Amino acid sequence: MAIYDVSDRSAIVTGGGSGIGRAVALELARSGAAVLVADLNAEHTEAVVAEIRAAGGTAEGLIGDVTDPAWGESAVAAAEKLAPLRIAVNNAGIAGASAPVAEYPVDAWRKVIEINLNAVFYGMRAQIPAMIKNGGGSIVNMASILGGVGFDNSSAYSAAKHGVVGLTKTAALENALTGVRVNAVGPGFIKTPLLGANMPAAQQEFLANRHAMKRLGLPEEVSPLVAFLASDAASFITGSYHLVDGGYSAQ
């Protein structure tokens, strides 16, 4: 499997303690980056840091809530202690409540928008100036297939992920000449705790069948795309939304 060399830099991975974020943190560390694993969950963060170190990589953990606007600055400062910050993967997210728009609880709506959209903005506000100072970098924002299409009972999630795509495109345009590239990734349904650890088999099958490949994806099928976009191999790619969805959106 291709490994893109990112050995002279640090990388922030939010939500790095679980699922897609964990796979991305491991992949970037294997590719040489010093990784700041940033997550709310201390136990999971420490486990991923230990896994990276056991494999010979460099990692530190940062426990915190991405919805704290000041958090972005602390993450940048912590990453810069490892190596110049040149990669950020804004990946932390939640699925949120499941209900039609007319019944969607307002608090639940606000929570999803705060974590899945506003926190990406808070993170980028701190990451972009640091990367410009370091001569350039790559930001990868975790959207979803639901950043391009809707899904019954997931209005807040879909609205947040559409927002992430728009935010990504605008930040990319603003930075087209600064050396900071900004892209979004849109995974299909991926087998992670976010999907529901104990999701009934019938529901898993329903979701799997919505993909042309008739199966769910794995975190390790998303992380190579993120590592590529994060690396200098993607030097002419900015402002775009990259699907990794088993053909979901092609139908």
Instruction: Find the part of the chain contacting ligand NAI (CB under 6 A) among 27-35, 52-60, 172-180, 192-200.
Output: 192-200
Closest CB to ligand NAI among residues 135, 193:
193
93 binds ligand NAI per the rule CB under 6 A: yes
Binder to ligand NAI among 52, 142, 180, 229 (CB under 6 A)? 142
Per the residue annotation, which of 104, 157, 241, 248 is the catalytic one?
157
Which residues inside 201-240 make contact with ligand NAI, applying CB under 6 A? Answer: none
What is the nearest approach in angstroms of ligand NAI to the Cβ of residue 46?
12
The Cα–Cα gap between 251 and 246 comes to 10
Does 157 qualify as catalytic in the annotation?
yes
Binder to ligand NAI among 47, 77, 94, 212 (CB under 6 A)? 94
72 binds ligand NAI per the rule CB under 6 A: no
Binder to ligand NAI among 4, 21, 25, 211 (CB under 6 A)? 21
99 binds ligand NAI per the rule CB under 6 A: no
What is the nearest approach in angstroms of ligand NAI to the Cβ of residue 135?
28
Catalytic residue positions? Answer: 157
Query: What is the contact surface with ligand NAI in residues (CB under 6 A)?
Result: 14-15, 17-21, 39-41, 44, 65-67, 91-94, 115, 142, 144, 187, 189-190, 192-195
